[in-house]
Homo-oligomer: A and B are copies of this chain.
Amino acid sequence: MGKYKLGEIAAAVAGTVEGDATTIILGVGGIEEAGPEDITFVANKKYIPLLKTTNAGAVILGEGVEAPDLNVVRVAEPYAAFARVLAMFAPEPALPENVSDLAYIADGAAVDEKAAVGPFAVVDAGATIGAGTAICAGSYIGRDSSVGEDCIIYPNVTVRERVTIGDRVIIHPNAVLGSDGFGFATAEGVHHKVPQIGTVVVGDDVEIGAGTTIDRGTMGATVIGDGCKIDNLVQIAHNVTLGKGTILAAQVGIAGSTKVGEYVVMGGQVGLVGHIEVGDRVQIGAKSGIPKSIPPGEIWFGYPARPIMDTKRIEAYLKRLGELFDRVKNIERKLEGKG
């Protein structure tokens, strides 16, 4: 783990100490769990009141938040600073360090001498694995697929054939890349399979969550742009494209051929129909169902989803619906009384 003086931590995050810079910090913790030898942080206003009761030995704070009784590391971006502090206290990585005798590297596969492959992992014929990359136990890298440099492919991941993965990509356990797109041509009661001869292209600095599935293109590619972050159990269908920096929370589903722009953010369990376009920097609230294209920069929410202010307005009316029925009843009574 780690042992630092508070001053050392402040230096590492380009912050300044308010309090005792010689305080010894042995760990990190949430504001409610941290003890006198832990450092914590507040980036979300919701947790500011807990500054009065925390037992933390120090706290990382942004400008304008006061904690007079605590040792403070003052920074511009407390969440980013805390991320750096977490890295200082991170345990050793638990990844394979070389190519296991129990892995299967097929003839014609090219595993860089600085790559590692765990037991019972398979690198199939024609596949290439870049320097600094770890393929963990039980994972399968299919024929002619390539994994770039400094990637982590956690256990039991399946990457099928002809998939291309960039550098510094992290794929969490049991994710699937390159499964067939879901396409059938139905004739006389028989669903004939449409061959899925395309592939998947994943950019650099992408993270793909546990159990997430990304289908290959029917033809051409399903594309995950540089810097995309995809949470667990997300479904991405054939020929979807995600622009760079897009973030998908868990259990999102995107149907075939939909184009998602750059720096889009979707909450958990959002669903998008196929063949639509979602503009750059769109934000979609959790569990929304998106039935049509969304222009850049808009915030949508609901099922079916609308611009969020429309949804909120309807929600407000819904709460007053009973009152409206009463008012109409009243009017009717008055009119009857008058009639």
Contact = CB atoms under 8 A, between A and B. Distances in A.
Interface of A: 27-30, 33, 44, 46, 77, 79-80, 82-83, 86-87, 89-91, 94, 100, 102, 104, 118-120, 122, 124, 136-138, 140, 142-144, 154-156, 158, 160-162, 170, 172-176, 179-180, 182-185, 187, 189-197, 207, 209-211, 213, 215, 218-220, 227, 229, 231-233, 235, 237, 239, 245, 247, 249-251, 253, 255, 257, 263, 267-269, 271, 273, 275, 286-287, 289, 303-304, 313-315, 317-322, 324-325, 327-328, 331-332, 334-335
A83 B195 contact: yes
4 interchain residue pairs of minimum CB distance:
A158-B173, A94-B161, A80-B185, A179-B210
Contacts of A100: 104
B182 A211 contact: no
Contacts of A227: 189-191
A311 to B, nearest CB: 9
A237 B120 CA distance: 28
A229 B138 contact: no
Nearest to A158: B173
A258 to B, nearest CB: 11
Given A189-B263, A193-B83, A287 B286 contact: no
B140 A209 contact: no
A302 to B, nearest CB: 8
Contacts of A213: 172, 174, 209-211, 232-233, 250
Given A155-B140, A191-B227, A255 B233 contact: no
A147 to B, nearest CB: 15
Contact of A271 (B102, B104, B239, B268): B268
A318 B193 CA distance: 40
Contacts of A28: 197, 219
The DSSP consensus for interface residues of chain A is loop
User: How many protomers of this protein does the assembly include?
Assistant: 3
Given A210-B179, A213-B210, A229-B184, A249 B255 contact: yes
Contacts of A219: 27-30, 33, 86
Nearest to A156: B158
A154 B158 contact: yes
Given A86-B218, A210-B176, A235-B251, A271 B289 contact: no
A328 B83 CA distance: 55
A237 to B, nearest CB: 7
Most buried by B among A196, A219, A332: A219
A197 B78 CA distance: 18
B154 A138 contact: no
Nearest to A331: B331
A91 to B, nearest CB: 6
A287 B220 CA distance: 28
A255 B90 CA distance: 23
A172 B137 CA distance: 18
Given A174-B176, A193-B207, A332-B327, A154 B162 contact: no
Given A172-B176, A172-B179, A182-B231, A268 B255 contact: yes
Contacts of A286: 255, 271, 273, 289
A312 to B, nearest CB: 10
